[in-house]
Structure 1
Amino acid sequence: MERTDQSWESVERLHAWLRESNTYPPEQEVLLRVLKLSEEVGEVAQAVIGAKGQNPRKGTTHSWQDVESELCDVIITAMVALRTLTPDAAGTFTSRLDHVVNRSLGD
């Protein structure tokens, strides 16, 4: 079964939901979205440390599936932050991805 990617539509819905409950001015809203991204990256690090059992006091506390979930949270949070900066988040992302692919892999 072919699945249509509706990721940016979902991001738009999440962005609208967050805007409804936002009580900060727009410039602070952007700042908070970026700070949230840092928080999510920290959760990835915590999950990797937990999956490797690198905290002797805690032992193995996470699975690699937890790491995958946390990485997805980082991506989702970054997409919402990008949407907070621009209504054309999908176009901005696609343009940047194309640039990075061409720079890295050539035409």
Structure 2
Amino acid sequence: MSEHVSSPPGSDAGLWGSVEELYGWLTANRAVDGPDEVLLRILKLSEEVGEVAQAVIGATGQNPRKGVTHTWDDVSAELCDVAVTALVALRTLTPDAPEVFARHLRRIRERSLGGG
């Protein structure tokens, strides 16, 4: 695992700098270690995806007992939580997360949009 370097409070660390800071904070405050730590960070994704579903149901008023309980801004925020949780889980698997993600995104772009 790489050494955690934090940015000053209120600074803009950028995407991967922020992921690294969150990874460091979670690692410093973890309740479990080893393989279970990785599994629990990946499992956290399911919780976050469930919160997206709850927000969509709430934004569309699909639960007649509750009515409209969320906004589309809530849905956006929950989707962001999913993305951040996934990136932190990826960082937990490998310190090369930015490169792994960039390579994978290139493959997706090429497959979906064609070469170039």
Distance in 2 (CA, whole Å) between partners of 1:75 and 1:94 is: 14
Gaps of 5+ in 2: 1-11
Instruction: Tell me the distance in 1 between the aligned counterparts of 2:65 and 2:97.
Output: 43
Q: Could you tell me how far apart the structure 1 residues matched to 2:19 and 2:35 are?
A: 19
Residue among 90, 101, 109 paired with 1:82:
90
The runs of 5 or more residues in structure 1 that have no matched partner are: none
CA distance in 1: counterparts of 2:38 and 2:29, whole angstroms: 14
Alignment partner of 1:15 is 2:23: yes
RMSD: 1.2
4+ residue stretches of structure 1 with deviation over 6 A? none
* TM-score, normalised by the number of residues in structure 2: 0.87
Aligned to 2:71: 63
Instruction: Point out the more displaced range, 15-24 or 46-55.
Output: 15-24
Report the 3-state secondary structure (helix = DSSP H, G, I; strand = E; otherwise coil) of the residue aligned with 2:64: coil
Q: AA paired with 2:75?
A: V
Q: Residue 49 of structure 1 corresponds to which residue in structure 2?
A: 57
| Offset, 1:23 | 3.2
CA drift at 1:24: 1.6
Structure ranking higher in helix proportion:
1
The answer to whether residue 115 in structure 2 is matched with residue 102 in structure 1 is no
